[in-house]
Amino acid sequence: MNVVVVESPAKAKTINKYLGKDYTVLASYGHIRDLPSKDGSVEPDQDFAMHYQNDAKSAKHIKAIADALQGAENLYLATDPDREGEAIAWHVLKVMEEKKKLKGAKVSRVVFNEITKRAVLEGIAHPRELDMNLVNAQQARRALDYLVGFTLSPVLWRKLPGAKSAGRVQSVALRLICERELEIDAFTAEEYWTIDADFLTDKKDKITARLTHLANKKLDKFDLPNAETAKAAAEKVRAGSFSIADVTQKPAKRNPSPPFTTSTLQQEASRKLGFGAKRTMMVAQKLYEGFNLGGETQGLITYMRTDGVSLAMEAMHSARDVIASEYGKEYVPEKPRFYKSKSKNAQEAHEAIRPTDLSRTPAMVAKYLDSEHLRLYELIWKRTIASQMESAQLERTTIDFSDGEGQILRATGSVVRFPGFLKLYEEGRDDVSDDENGNRLPAVKAGENVATDKVREDQHFTEPPPRYSEASLVKKLEELGIGRPSTYASIISVLQDRDYVKIEQKRFIPEDKGQLVTAFLSSFFTRYVEYDFTAQLEEKLDDITAAKIDWKQVLRDFWFDFNTLVEGTAELRVSDVLEELNRVLAPHIFPPTEDGKDPRACPKCDDGRLSLKTGRFGAFIGCSNYPNCRFTRKLGESEDEAGDTTDEGPKELGQDPESGLMITLRRGPYGPYLQLGEPEPKKKPKRVSIPKDIPLESLDFDLAVQLIGLPREIGPHPETGSMITAGLGRYGPYVESDRKYGKLTNSMEVLTVGMNRAVELLAEAKGRGGGSGGRGAAPLRVVGPHPADGADINVKDGRYGAYVTHGGINATIPKGSDPMTITLEDAVKLLAERAEKSGKKPKLAKKAAKAKPAAKKKPASKKPAAAAE
């Protein structure tokens, strides 16, 4: 029996049909183990030892592979043919070795670039050993990403409240988007004018030309800066008698673009199909894994993660046959076209992305595919076929009109003499110049007189650089050598998931927190968001693949300087950080005012100065005279917009029928909220934030009364008798009973949810704190009773590792100590040291009466447990 392991179940099903009954094909469902998200998973002090952990979701897949290996003769690791696939294969091997499941089975690595019967059988017939250079290259990338994320992100949390994370490549991509936005903020439009004239030939053909020379001087872009100069120039054109001074016709040739790589596929799918990078890769993955075409599953395209542009010889010959039969022999070039990647970092030894069978036209597969899969397949098919077609033959024509007095106007156009590959496909571009837009000019000769029909003076303004689209961002990252084909989609997803950017009209706009993170990193971690540094590090990681450099040496070189810089930020004060961000982000948060006044002057008090402030929910703009002046505005909000949220004051909605206190609508730095009554000595009034999904225009007195009354009681749980309540929490609307929480779909449902719906949601919910380290999490072990009060000292697993807890004091268990064997004496000592360091006193339980057992537990605290810093 032979066992074959691939990543996906769809792939497994198809390959199993190809190989037959002597093979068992199983899916790993991607990575079966990874670095756990906690401190110590990579240990620089131990020569970067990496401690992997099996993914809990992979347990059944691991068991299935292990069971299938009982008595197997061969284990074929047939994961994807790239660095990530090599690493997945290695992890499967290591887990099976640890479980001692190989027992005589021969282990081989199998690769194929397409899921067709021919390719799979050929791969099985020619196995190889695991390539540890590829594995180590992936490990180095994973270790670097882990070290940057887990070392730099806590610095952000301490120095820049509201920031979520930083990453080795994501932060550089974010910098591109944010710097473009600062360019746009700082941009000042310049006015310029152009003069166009319509000329009529003797044959009444109309030709439009633009003024290029005025009084024998060639015009630059801003030589006609205003209406006055433009009008004077136009009058000279109107007064002149023009003839054709020169006609130039130059033959030109355009060659087709190479077939798709991952990045160019993402760019074209964005331009032509409106697909995002993530969507493109999901659709391409399915095309690669295959569709049932009339009874047999066939992979329709080759592997879609590649930066190679070459085609197999058989594919080129197949393309030439298709071209000849579909379009004619004149469209077949004399020799096949060979392409070479221009990317200095191209390292994957794969073909370009192409159909597995080029004779399989889009029309032939249309009935088997849905719309989006068909559209992407058609795009790939056309691009591949076009890449082997004859060049397009063009003729570019330039006609100069002169009045003999120094005024010259020029018309340009391009005529397609032979379409070549343009008959099938033309690459999408963001800009197309006038001489390439197919503007056809009539046949004319030098010396012909023409009549001036109309002369137009057109006003223009320079425009700022455009924001990045997914296509242009991927293109820029590739040009800079940052990231790799398989990472672009995940980079973009992470930036959106972290709320660092948003997409409007298919363009990236940085959110305020994205601007803050970028400004912070650019100011205090400059080297690590530099484009050249990141690209050079990518090259070193690629050199690991080629066995040119030791992977641990790459980690050592990076970590020493990086860790030193991180440690140096310990003395960095938040006030210094904010003032630096005030300076860097000035064009964005303090744009120049039209009246020339200081943009940082407080509009509410005489001598206050506006500055970035930080709070629990992130950054905002506030006055330096706080608390005497309480002017605030949202980051990125103009002074005019902020006026409604600060100067207007609270709006009275009416008296609460239960308490008799006034309910007011107010606005703070984090948005609108309701307040019940006014502050009293040592007593704060009740406040409720207005959820984002409740429009302010719909907020009337009745709704305000309901919101201020939250949380509301729904009734006792029919099974437990515990009260069920509905309310608004930090993470949205919820129902709760006995510390179990169910999530509601929207904020208004809090006011209407009934018993049946609440019970259903709670039945699906996990108890609060069910995750690692939560306040309701079960302890790993009970160490014993604390001498001070007899209450248990527990060991728990937290975000930063195992810790002991008692009386609200949490103390991290040092590295090297086994949490399952720590003694009572050591636990008491750790807790005492932690209490002294933090200045907190433990909350001791009342001593139990003699008749009662000393180890009686105190009810769980309502505050969530957290591991010590």
Neighbour tally for 19: CB within 10 Å: 18
Burial class from Cβ neighbours inside 10 Å (0-12, 13-18, 19+) for residue 539 reads middle
pLDDT of residue 865: 30
Spans of all domains in the chain: 2-130, 140-187+466-575, 191-253+396-425+434-461, 262-386, 590-646, 773-869
CATH number of the domain at 2-130, out of 3.40.50.140, 3.40.1280.10, 3.40.50.10070, 1.10.3720.10?
3.40.50.140
pLDDT of residue 739: 76
Tell me how many degrees the CA angle 478-373-376 measures, rounded to the nearest 5.
Answer: 40
Q: Which helix (H) or strand (E) is 620 found in, with range?
A: strand 618-623
Q: How many CA atoms are closer than 13 Å to the CA of 13, on its beta-carbon side?
A: 12
CA distances from 33 to 87, 108, 143 (A): 10, 20, 14
Which range of 290-299, 458-467, 504-513, 757-766 scores highest in mean pLDDT? It is 458-467
pLDDT of residue 262: 92
Q: What CATH topology corresponds to 262-386?
A: Topoisomerase I; domain 4 (1.10.290)
- Banded pLDDT at 130 (limits 50, 70, 90): very high
Tell me the mean pLDDT in the region 135-154. Answer: 90
Q: Are 578 and 614 in contact (CB under 8 A)?
A: yes
Structure-model confidence comparison of residues 334 and 168, the more confident one: 334
Cα 230 to chain center, whole Å?
A: 47
Over the chain, what is the mean pLDDT? 85
Interatomic CA distance for residues 553 and 688, integer angstroms = 54
Tell me how many degrees the CA angle 626-630-634 measures, rounded to the nearest 5.
Answer: 110
- Banded pLDDT at 858 (limits 50, 70, 90): very low
Q: What are phi and psi of 438, to 5 degrees?
A: 80, 15
Neighbour tally for 742: CB within 10 Å: 22
pLDDT of residue 645: 38
CATH number of the domain at 590-646, out of 3.40.50, 3.30.65, 3.30.559, 2.60.120?
3.30.65
Interatomic CA distance for residues 312 and 302, integer angstroms = 11
Q: Which residues are catalytic?
A: 303
- Banded pLDDT at 357 (limits 50, 70, 90): very high
Q: Are 529 and 522 in contact (CB under 8 A)?
A: yes
Q: Which amino acid is at 858?
A: K
What is the share, in percent, of the chain residues with pLDDT greater than 90? 46
What is the dotted CATH code of the domain comprising 140-187+466-575?
1.10.460.10
Tell me the mean pLDDT in the region 573-601. Answer: 84
- Banded pLDDT at 860 (limits 50, 70, 90): very low
Q: Which helix (H) or strand (E) is 50 found in, with range?
A: strand 49-50
> Among 351-365, 434-448, 449-463, which stretch is predicted with the lowest mean pLDDT?
434-448
pLDDT of residue 44: 93
Helices (H), 45-106: 59-68, 83-98
CATH number of the domain at 191-253+396-425+434-461, out of 3.20.20.450, 1.10.3130.10, 2.70.20.10, 1.10.10.10?
2.70.20.10
- Banded pLDDT at 766 (limits 50, 70, 90): low
- Banded pLDDT at 778 (limits 50, 70, 90): low
pLDDT of residue 636: 60
Q: Is the pLDDT of residue 344 over 80?
A: no
Sheet holding 632-634, edge to edge: 610-615, 618-623, 632-634
Q: Are 527 and 173 in contact (CB under 8 A)?
A: no
Q: Is the pLDDT of residue 772 over 70?
A: no
DSSP string, 487-509: THHHHHHHHHHTTSEEEETTEEE
Q: Is the pLDDT of residue 771 over 50?
A: no
In sequence order, what are the residues at sequence separation of 6 or more whose Cβ sits closer than 8 angstroms to the Cβ of residue 753? 714, 726, 735, 744
239-253: per-residue pLDDT in tens?
999 999 999 999 999
30-68: per-residue pLDDT in tens?
899 999 888 789 999 999 999 999 988 899 999 999 999
pLDDT of residue 313: 92
In sequence order, what are the residues at sequence separation of 6 or more whose Cβ sits closer than 8 angstroms to the Cβ of residue 186? 587
Q: Is the pLDDT of residue 850 over 70?
A: no
218 Rama sector, left if φ>0, alpha if ψ -120 to 50, beta otherwise = beta
What are 3's strand-pairing partners? 24, 75
- Banded pLDDT at 774 (limits 50, 70, 90): very low
Cis peptide bond N-terminal to 419, omega within 30:
no
